[in-house]
Homo-oligomer: A and B are copies of this chain.
Amino acid sequence: MTGIAIFGAGRIGQIHAENLCNNKNAEVRHVVDVVGQAARDLAARCNARASSIEEAIADEAVEAVVIATSTDTHAELIEVSAKASKAIFCEKPLDLDVAVASNSIEIAAQHGVLLCIGFNRRHDPTFNRLKQDIDAGLVGNVEVVSITSRDPSPPPPEYIGRSGGLFRDMMIHDLDMARWLLGEDPVQIFASGSALVSEDIAAEGDIDTAVVTMKTASGRLCNITNSRRCVYGYDQRIEVFGSAGMLRAGNQTETQVEHANGDGFRTDPVLPFFLERYADAYRLQLDRFLRAVAGDDNEMPDGIDGLKALKMADAAQKSCDQETAITLSL
C-alpha cells in the first residue's frame, strides 16, 4: 500500500483521486489545492485530509505524489517532492519552458526519485497493444506512423491564452505517441496550421487545425493531424505501416448497436471525449505508477519523454510560425 498526496483537486485531480481510491495498492492521505473547499470535498471522498503542501510533504507515510495542478506550479512541486524523496507522477506538460522542464528532471535525478509524466494515452489498452504488437514484429520495420487526433470542440476561450497553443497543449500527446511508436527520435519537423474552427482561437493568434510531418534519422516518416472540432466524437486513431504489415488502432463507441434502414447502416458516434475514451488509460496509468514506485516493472514515460515531447511541440510551433521545416536534435 503506497501512501499518496494529490496536488490539485480540479477535474484531472479528481480523476486520479477516484482511481487511487479504488486501487488496492494506494492510500490517498492528502489532497492539496489552493481552493480550500475543493481540497476538502475531494479529501472527504477519499477518506484523506485536506492539507497544505508542507503538511503533505512532511508526512513520512507519503511515498509518492500526484501533481495535477496548473502547469506553472509543476516545477516547484517537483522540487519540493524530490527533495523529500517522494516518487513523482506529474501531469503533462512538465512546463511550457524547456529550460524549466530540464531543470525539474535534473532535480529529480539528483535526489534519485522517480519522475513519471502523465502521457495517459500510452496506457490506453488499444494503443498499448499497438505498441506491443510493433515490438513483437507484427509490422516488420516501421516505415510510417499516421496519427489522427481530433477534439470534439474548442476549449473555453479563457483557457486558450494560457494553453501554450495547440502544439504544446493538444498535439504534445500525439508527439509523444509518435516518438514512442516510431521507436526513434525525429530529426526534422514541419507543421502547417490554420484557424478554421474558432474565432476566439484566431483572435489569440493560435490555430485549431494542424498537420505535422516528421522524419527520423533512419528515414521513418510520421504525420499527425489535429483539429479542435470533431462533430462525431473524440477521434483518436493511429496507423502504423511497416515492411511486413500494418497495425491500426480504431475508436470506441458506447454500444455495439447498428441500425439499418433505407439510408444504410448506422453505428454510434465515437466516445465523446477523453474522460470516456481514456477512462481505462487513466486507471492503468496510476496502477503502473504504483508498480513502478513499488519497484516492479516500470512502464511509465519519464521526465525525458516529457521534455522531448515539449521540444517537439516547440519546434512544431516554430515551423508553423516560420513556414519552414525545423531540424530537431532531441
Within 8 A of B (CB), among A72-90: none
Asked, given contacts A125-B255, A260-B245, whether A266 binds B269 with beta carbons under 8 Å apart, the answer is: no
A129 at the interface (CB under 8 A from B): yes
Q: Which of the 9-residue segments A154-162, A227-235, A295-303, A308-316 touches chain B? A: A227-235
Asked, given contacts A22-B22, A125-B254, A255-B125, whether A231 binds B194 with beta carbons under 8 Å apart, the answer is: no
Which chain B positions have C-beta within 8 A of A2?
none
User: CB distance A232 to B143 under 8 Å?
Assistant: no
Q: How far is the CA of A261 from the CA of B148 in the complex (A)?
A: 16
Kindly report how many copies of this chain are found in the complex they form together: 4
User: CB distance A269 to B258 under 8 Å?
Assistant: no
User: CB distance B245 to A261 under 8 Å?
Assistant: yes
Which chain B positions have C-beta within 8 A of A270?
260
Which chain B positions have C-beta within 8 A of A188?
192, 323
Asked, given contacts A125-B254, A194-B221, whether A260 binds B269 with beta carbons under 8 Å apart, the answer is: yes
Asked, given contacts A259-B246, A324-B325, whether A213 binds B215 with beta carbons under 8 Å apart, the answer is: no
Question: A211's contact among B223, B239, B259, by CB below 8 Å, is which?
Answer: B223
Q: Nearest CB to that of A212 among chain B residues?
A: B213
Asked, given contacts A126-B257, A194-B215, A256-B250, whether A231 binds B138 with beta carbons under 8 Å apart, the answer is: no
User: CB distance B144 to A225 under 8 Å?
Assistant: yes
Q: How far is the CA of A222 from the CA of B126 in the complex (A)?
A: 27
Q: How far is the CA of A59 from the CA of B278 in the complex (A)?
A: 42
Q: How far is the CA of A212 from the CA of B192 in the complex (A)?
A: 11
A129 CB to closest chain B CB, in angstroms?
A: 5
User: CB distance B261 to A232 under 8 Å?
Assistant: yes
Question: A195's contact among B219, B241, B265, by CB below 8 Å, is which?
Answer: B219
Asked, given contacts A190-B192, A259-B133, whether A232 binds B146 with beta carbons under 8 Å apart, the answer is: no
Q: Nearest CB to that of A130 among chain B residues?
A: B257
Q: How far is the CA of A214 from the CA of B213 in the complex (A)?
A: 11
Give 8 CB contacts A-B under 8 Å.
A192-B215, A211-B213, A213-B213, A246-B261, A249-B256, A253-B264, A263-B266, A266-B266
Besides A133-B259, A230-B246, 4 more A-B contacts (Cβ < 8 Å) are A194-B215, A210-B221, A229-B243, A232-B246
Closest 8 CB pairs of A and B: A194-B219, A245-B261, A250-B256, A232-B260, A126-B255, A246-B260, A248-B258, A266-B266
